[in-house]
Amino acid sequence: MGKPTGFMEFSRQTPHDRDPELRILDWNEFHEHMPVPELQKQGGRCMDCGVPFCHTGDLISNMASGCPVNNLIPEWNDLIYRNRWREALDRLHKTNNFPEFTGRVCPAPCEGSCVLGIIEPPVTIKNIECAIIDRGFEEGWVVPQPPEHLTGKSVAVIGSGPAGLACAQELRRAGHEVTVFERSDRIGGLLMYGIPNMKLEKHVVERRVQQMRDEGVVFRTSVEIGRDVQATELVDQFDSVVLCTGATAPNDFFASTPGRELKGIHFAMDFLHANTKSLLDSSHADGNYLSAKDKDVIVIGGGDTGTDCIGTSLRHGCRSLVTFEIVQKPPFERAANNPWPEWPRILRVDYGHEEAAAKFDYSTFPGKKHPDDPREFSIQTVEFLGDSEGNLTGVKTVEVDWEQVTEGGPPFTIIPGTERVWKADMLLMALGFRGPEQTIVEQLGLATDRRSNYQAEYGKYATSVPGVFAAGDCRRGQSLVVWAINEGRGAAKECDRYLTGSTRLRG
């Protein structure tokens, strides 16, 4: 695999990012491309490890370990080292319909379980993946693959996020007539409106959607199943239905917090969706978005969505920005209770954090404990403050101690005397999602699990209604793009088996 001594000769390198202070002036992707000779060296770091955990795709301690779509990582690393790009692309596409998405937005659990990562920085898998598929498009190697034979069976796929698109492409290549229904005006779901442009430019999504159109997939936008078309109608009209609606009902952990009704408090996805739509429609000229310009912004919640709120607010031109996380500050290196090959729970500086630190001098922010980071850890919001006209003006917080458990309550205690007020006129809640909206559940009489997700066993994907399958976040709960692709492919395989009695899809 690669060069036998490569991991000893070459150090880990990743592509340079554009300067943070310059990139916040536009909405273009912030990653630069790495030269081919350097990429080959990085592929050569892939060691002959015997058992490559990078593509195992397991859950350990309830977090991804290895690649959920079981990418053949050592194989295409070796091919890149040997400058055999076309073959590397073929290997990549055997397991992943959309490596251009995962190569940009996946947190790379494969790298967290890289065997080399036990003793050295892991192989730069994610960047090599992205480079392979981008070159594939540049060289014209990515072409439509329409089915050779048609089955005469029809499938409706509800939702055009990564699960829906993966499912639709696999089913079409199996020979079925596939129609994808999307309630937004553009195809892509989370990929289009949930992830901002600077992390995933939309032409990257649109070129793959066009490939699927050329393969014969039919897309119907601005159609909300359950409102514009009854879910029961689809069950009657199509031979099978696959639900890939995502987990779109946001958590609101502050519903009973004083001041929650104040103007200026928004769910993160409302902020991000409107921003991208306005950007694509008019380069923000229509004003149909929630602007953070000249505002004091607070983001509550970490993770990718919180980071995207940071990056978007900075590009609007916010006056100040801090973000709160109730969890403890993670360590810089793996803790003893977080061994390899678990996902490393360490402190990471994402693109938004880097940009905020470059834009603002946090040492001048009153009450800021971390002078080089927009984040404050172990902090709980207890009240939203407003003016006489109902506008948000500030947020009251307290610090929490995770070493002391509240008897009969949360796994922390509030530290007396740590109450503080932070100035804010825009607050963005990036608190995750509790599950799918329930309209389709009610119309079809679907069984749900205790978290309100569509009940369907992993690996089988069949719901309680015959001929109706479910995949992605609507089945497993809020998760990664790569897990959505995994489930979309798996559901397509089981749907194909249901329709024809057997299947050649790999899942």
- We report the CATH number of the domain holding residue 462 as 3.50.50.60
Residue 161: Cβ within 10 Å count: 27
- For residue 65, which amino acid is it? S
Residues 355 and 270 in one domain: yes
Express each pLDDT in 272-317 by its tens digit.
999 999 999 999 999 999 999 999 999 999 999 999 999 999 999 9
Last residue of a domain, one of 138, 165, 198: 138
Residues 256 and 240 in one domain: no
Residues 168 and 273 in one domain: no
Domain enclosing residue 43, as ranges: 6-138
Alpha helix locations (H) across 259-326? 268-282, 303-316
Domain count, the chain: 3
Express each pLDDT in 109-167 by its tens digit.
999 999 999 999 999 999 999 999 999 999 999 999 999 999 999 999 999 999 999 99
Residues 12 and 112 in one domain: yes
Q: Using the structure block, give the residue that is written with the tokens 């979309």.
A: 488
Last residue of a domain, one of 78, 107, 138: 138
Strand order in the sheet with 177-181: 218-220, 177-181, 154-158, 240-243, 468-470
Residues 438 and 406 in one domain: no
For residues 231-264, one letter each, b for 16 or more C-beta atoms within 10 angstroms of the residue's C-beta and e for the rest, the string is beebbeebbbbbbbbbbbebbeebeebebeebeb
Residue 205 lies in a domain: yes
d(CA 52, CA 507): 20
Average pLDDT, the chain: 96
Residue 148 lies in a domain: no
Residues 235 and 351 in one domain: no
Is the pLDDT at 212 greater than 70? The verdict is: yes
Residues 369 and 244 in one domain: no
Express each pLDDT in 346-367 by its tens digit.
999 999 999 999 999 999 998 8
Residues 76 and 194 in one domain: no
Dihedral of CA atoms 21, 22, 26, 31 in degrees, nearest 10, equals -100
Last residue of a domain, one of 397, 429, 461: 429
Residue 145 lies in a domain: no
Residues 322 and 446 in one domain: no
Residues 409 and 396 in one domain: yes
Residue 348 lies in a domain: yes
Rg of the chain taking only CA atoms, in angstroms: 23
Q: Quick one: pLDDT band at residue 399, thresholds 50, 70, 90?
A: very high
Residues 23 and 125 in one domain: yes
User: The domain that contains 99 carries what CATH number?
Assistant: 1.10.1060.10
Residue 466 lies in a domain: yes
Coil, strand, or helix at residue 499?
helix
Residue 146 lies in a domain: no
Residues 61 and 170 in one domain: no
Residue 222 lies in a domain: yes
Bridge partners (DSSP) listed for residue 160: none
Q: Judging by DSSP bridges, how do beta strands 392-401 and 413-414 pair with one another?
A: antiparallel
- For residue 272, which amino acid is it? L
Token couple for 456? 């369907």
